[in-house]
Structure 1
Amino acid sequence: MMSWLRYEFRKLNWHVILNVIGHVLLALAGLLIAPLICGLIYHEDISSFVIVIILSLILGLPFSRVKVNHASYFARDGLMAVGLCWIVLSIIGALPFYLSGTIPHYIDALFEAVSGFTTTGSSILTEVESLPKCMLFWRSFTHWIGGMGILVFVLAILPKSNDRSMHILRAESLGPVIGKLVPRLRQSAMILYLMYMGLTIIEVILLLLGHMPLFDALCNTFGSAGTGGFSVTNQGIGEYHNAYYEWIIGIFMALFGVNFNFYFFLVIHDFKNAFKLEEVKTYFYVILTSTILITINILSMYKYDVVRSIRLAFFQVSSIITTTGFSSCNFDLWPTLSKMILLLLMVLGACAGSTGGGVKVSRMMIVVRRIKADIQRSVHPQKVKVITFDGKAVPEKVVDQIMSYFGCYILIMSICFFFVSIDGFDMETTISACVSCLGNIGPGFKVVGPFGNFHAFSDLSKLVLSLAMLIGRLEIFPILIFIAPLIGHGHKKKKRSKEEIYLYDENNI
């Protein structure tokens, strides 16, 4: 077994993997300057950021200079690079919390960092308003970094990005299918980040026009842009008691949950293709339907105030389906029907190619169509039913991968339930905590409700849930690749057929 394991890992292009990790660490060092500046503005201790910047440079510089051989750069290398980068990013990104003493226990600091980068928004902090401004800024800024993806950012600024880097973009991007917006990959990454930054700037401006303080506007925008949900107040967005803020943040959470291809088509004035995207139409239909149902269900709770009920329902639907996790009220007190709708939205998630989490609307649509086709085949065995999406036939390989994803999702969720249940919390807390972390949502119900936290969980549960957050953000396979050699079988030097290479390496884009 050990010889097989060594053989499997030797097949990886470690030069490429280390080079990518090096560039991510250098990018992290640069990004840490933002909270450092925040600390200087508010006259706070910035020594922890200085230490982590130096450490990132010391590790990143030699790795980034590793000579790269792109000739043997396959999909498995992209998956491994992405998985390792996110693990390293979380480990290093937790250090400012730990070294500053803001979060004195490293496991807690790691949980907070993983939750930030994966845009989950689950927290171990019982009180946030007393934290230094620079730490609150870093905590929210991790959402913005992780929303579009640190490696997409690296690809946007890396001058030597080539078509083989598509393996990295494919592994980090959210959804079942990822393609280049334009022929050149670096241009695609830059376009994604320009659209991301553009929406971010617009939201900050609109919040400032509503007289929200600049610091709060930036942090809340980072949370909604990255669909993360870390707030700078103990009671979330509800602390402001401002309907304007709720509408602006609610609308932008929904916008960041849209497939960014939609915005690309709008930018190039291709309105026909923009409004043909089935996933986007279904996504907004789900938001509208859920908002109406919850509004009707909670109307009596708010003395039949229709406008307030609509606002609260829309905000929470937008927050949960995009897996942001912001709260404007304690929805844990809502009727069971409303909570069940929110639980289903937690699993569903936003669109593919957005910053949102969950299993994605497109995946669910394809699974439903696959089930429908299987039922039709059982009734009419000779009938050939092709699954289509956006007017195009979905390759059987893609459908099989989606079904495999769902199988892995259920298995991983079951494992999470088992380990977290050891802590002895009630069923609603345990289930919603696991669903929340694997779906990168943030709040759950009961102990981990909108005004609760994960502080009371054991270190084992926090590590399991941290791993679940990483698995959920990277859509399972970039993390599972670490154990793939353990479940492999066959002879040490068995030669793969051309068909096997195609399936495993995604045709060497």
Structure 2
Amino acid sequence: MNIRPVLHVIGLFLMVLSVLMLLPAFYDALTHAGGSQAFLLSAAITFFSGLPLFWFYRDADFQLKSRQIFLLTNLSWLAVSSFSALPLFFLLNISYTDAFFETMSGITTTGSTVLSGLDSMNTGALLWRSLLQWLGGIGFIVLAIAILPFLKVGGMRLFQSESSDWSDKAMPRSGSIAKRVVIIYLGLTILCAYFYFLGGMNAFESINHAMTTLSTGGYSTSDNSMAHFSNPFIYWVSTIFMLLGGLPFVLFVKCLRGDIDALTKDNQVQAFVNFLLVLWFFFSIWLFTNSDYSLFESLTLVAFNTTSVITTTGFALTDYTLWGGFAATLFFMLTFVGGCSGSTTGGVKIFRFQIGAKLLRIQLKQLMHPRACFVQSYNGQQITGDILRSLIAFSFFFALLTTVLTLLLSLMGLDLITALSGAATAIANVGPGLGDIIGPAGNFATLPDAAKWLLSIGMLMGRLEVITVLVLFTPDFWHD
């Protein structure tokens, strides 16, 4: 395999990453927070690590083939995560394991954290965490295709390698899609920050939370997460923009190009929104009748927390595990439900549940009418064999990976609830798990280092939808 173009692009990614490290360095210098040196040192290490790769392989042929694309996707995420951990390692005096876990959780928009004392933490570190989630939400490959002309060759394959959901060709050129997606993503982030500011957040809090809301990442500037802001207006702003982050950005592009009904007529969007509304209605009534909350408080808490989990954001407003066994069980089940394809969310996307339900209905009809021929379609398109194989493979490996990771975590002494919910929340990129240790009121700091590395691998595999990573471990991948 010719890996020269892969190494060239990774070198370029590291050089760009080093420039991004200057943003929190500049902010720390401006506010006299005292963290500039750590960011400048990290930027220098990152830049001079990427420069040789970029320079020595600058003459590479950029006709990227399938294997190069998959290798580029995996190595770019690993390289960026590894070097992004340096500022936290130097600045916060934590182990590299903790720094890498925090960074991987941020870039994959998982939202799990090992840090505490956020309210008094260096502002540059907080800004860096939020910026990583914002970059990871839209995806490095999407940003690269929007900016780098030589990556637009085979751009749709690059979309698919980072997330199998970016395959809807809204426009003839993937570069055009990427540019418009980035513009919409940026615009919604600015709009979210504006509404947060209106709700009482200061400018720093507004920008940070806007980046982690649209990216459905869930990092906050406070240990109490969104509960730090006792304002229902902020809670509902967050709920709405988390929901928007869970919608397909390609459909936003179609809306801007004149197809106003692109969102409302899409089967996946309809199912996603309807599922949330029904869940809000019945769950809030249950909470109202089984607690001392008013009806509006129940609706606010339910809407915020369920949307946070389903969109895999991970913001916490209250410890919902204290609501009883039914609520804890429901939230654990919601961990496996993701948003729409082509969104910033993780988990098992809604369209996979829809196709699975269609196949079940057809199978039941086939049993009653063995000689009948039923056409399988979804969103106006026929469900082909490739789609079915992809669905079955993803579902199988998602379940298998969750099982294996749970077993490995339990071998390290973790109890069943912590091991199972930790594995599920890592692979689904949700954030908080269940139990006293990693639940909404806790964090991952006390876990063994080996568990943190395993969970970091799970986060990456979940963000790249499992198959993109597993393909590297097949013998055929490395042979012509």
CA contact (8 A) 1:13 1:77 kept: yes
Q: Where does residue 60 of structure 2 map in the other structure?
A: 68
C-alpha deviations, 1:245-269, integer Å up to 9, x for none?
A: 1111111011111111221222123
Instruction: Give the letter aligned to residue 424 of structure 1.
Output: G
Distance 1:103 1:243 in 2: 36
Report the equivalent of 1:80.
Answer: 71
> Per-residue CA shift, 1:411-430, capped at 9, x if unaligned?
11111011111233332222
TM-score by length of 1: 0.90
C-alpha separation between the residues in 2 aligned to 1:424 and 1:222? 36
- SS, match of residue 335 in structure 2: helix
Provide closer, same or farther for how the CA distance between residues 157 and 293 of structure 1 changes in structure 2, counting only shifts above 3 A.
Answer: same
2:464 matches 1:450:
no
What does residue 141 of structure 1 align with?
Answer: 131
Alignment gaps of 5+ in structure 2: none
Structure 1 residues 395 and 40: CA distance shift in structure 2, 3 A: same
Which of 150, 155, 165 aligns to 2:140? It is 150
8 Å CA contact retained: 1:27, 1:154: no
Cα distance change, pair 97–285 in 1 and its aligned pair in 2 (3 A): same
| Aligned match for 1:467, one of 457, 463, 467 | 457
Deviation of the 1:277 alpha carbon: 0.7
Distance 1:275 1:441 in 2: 26
Instruction: State the superposition RMSD in angstroms.
Output: 1.8
- 1:365 deviation in Å? 1.1
- In structure 2, C-alpha distance between the alignment counterparts of 1:372 and 1:320, rounded to whole Å: 28
Give CA-to-partner distance per residue, 1:30-68, whole Å, 9 cap, x none. Answer: 222221122112212212211222222223233234223
Q: 1:258 aligns with which of 247, 251, 254?
A: 247
Pairing partner for 2:318 from 329, 337, 342: 329
Identity %: 29
**In the alignment, does 2:200 pair up with 1:211?**
yes
Q: Are residue 108 (structure 1) and residue 101 (structure 2) matched? A: no
1:270 deviates by 0.8
Deviations 1:156-200 (A, max 9, x none): 11133333132222111353x513332222221111100000100
Give per-residue Cα distances to partners, 1:487-508, cap 9 Å, x unaligned.
Answer: x599x77xxxxxxxxxxxxxxx
1:373-388 matches, cutoff 5 A: 373-388=362-377
- 2:469 aligns to what SS in structure 1? helix
In the other structure, the counterpart of 2:416 is 427
Q: Distance in 2 between matches of 1:356 and 1:421?
A: 27
Per-residue deviation at 1:302? 4.3
Aligned equivalent of 1:117, options 103, 107, 112: 107
Distance 1:15 1:387 in 2: 43
AA aligned opposite 1:118: T
Q: 2:6 & 2:227 partners in 1: Cα distance?
A: 44
Residue 260 of structure 1 contacts residue 353 of structure 1 at CA under 8 Å; is this kept in 2?
yes
Bigger Cα displacement from structure 2, 367-376 vs 434-443: 367-376
The change in CA–CA distance for 1:383 and 1:75 in structure 2 (over 3 A counts) is farther
Counterpart residue type for residue 64 of structure 1: F
TM-score with structure 2 setting the length: 0.95
Aligned counterpart, 2:469 = 479
Match of 1:395 among 384, 400, 403: 384
Code of the aligned partner of 1:188: I
Write the distance in 2 (CA, Å) between the matches of 1:134 and 1:99: 12
Summarize the alignment of residues 202-241 of structure 1 with structure 2, pairs less than 5 Å apart.
202-241=191-230
Decide which moves more: 140-149 or 29-38: 29-38
Question: d(CA) in 1 for partners of 2:13 and 2:370?
Answer: 52
Whole-Å Cα distance in 2 between the matches of residues 103 and 468 of structure 1? 25
Aligned partner of 2:280 in structure 1 is 291
Is 1:282 matched up with 2:271? Answer: yes
Kept after mapping to 1: 8 A contact 2:471/2:477: no
Q: Is the 8 A contact 2:321 2:327 kept in 1?
A: no
Tell me how far 1:339 sits from its aligned partner: 2.5
Q: Is the 8 A contact 2:168 2:250 kept in 1?
A: no
Corresponding letter in the other structure for 2:118 = V
1:347 is paired with a residue of what secondary structure? coil
Query: Does the aligned pair in 1 maintain the 2:199–2:233 contact within 8 Å?
Result: yes
Please point out which of 17, 21, 25 is paired with 2:10: 21
CA distance in 2, matches of 1:15, 1:148: 26
Unpaired segments ≥5 residues, structure 1: 1-11, 494-509
The one-letter code sitting in structure 2 at the alignment partner of 1:120 is: T
Q: Does 1:316 align with 2:305?
A: yes
SS of the residue 2:151 aligns to = coil
8 Å contact kept, 1:118–1:470: yes
Once the two structures are TM-superposed, the CA of residue 291 in structure 1 deviates from its matched residue by 1.0
Which range moves more in the overlay, 425-434 or 208-217?
A: 425-434
Matching of residue 273 in structure 1 with residue 262 in structure 2: yes
One-letter amino acid of the structure 2 residue matched with residue 89 of structure 1: V
Count, aligned residues? 476
- Residue 437 (structure 1) aligned to one of 426, 430, 452: 426
Is residue 2:399 matched to residue 1:410? yes
Shift, 1:103, TM fit = 4.4
> Are the equivalent residues in 2 in contact too, given 1:18–1:64 (CA < 8 A)?
yes
Match of 1:130 in 2: 120
Equivalent in the alignment of 2:190: 201
| Counterpart-to-counterpart distance in 2, 1:300 and 1:425 | 35
CA distance change for structure 1 residues 336 and 93 in 2, over 3 Å: closer, same or farther? Answer: same
CA 1:163–1:383: 2 relative to 1, 3 Å? farther
Q: For residue 112 of structure 1, give the secondary structure of its aligned residue in structure 2.
A: helix
1:64-110 Cα deviation digits (max 9, x unpaired): 34223244x3222211110111011111011111122x142111111
Match of 1:166 in 2: 156
After superposition, give the CA deviation of every residue in 1:114-138 in whole Å (9 maximum; x if it has no partner).
0000000001123322320100111
Q: Distance in 2 between matches of 1:61 and 1:375?
A: 59
- 1:174, 1:357 within 8 Å by CA — same for their partners in 2? no
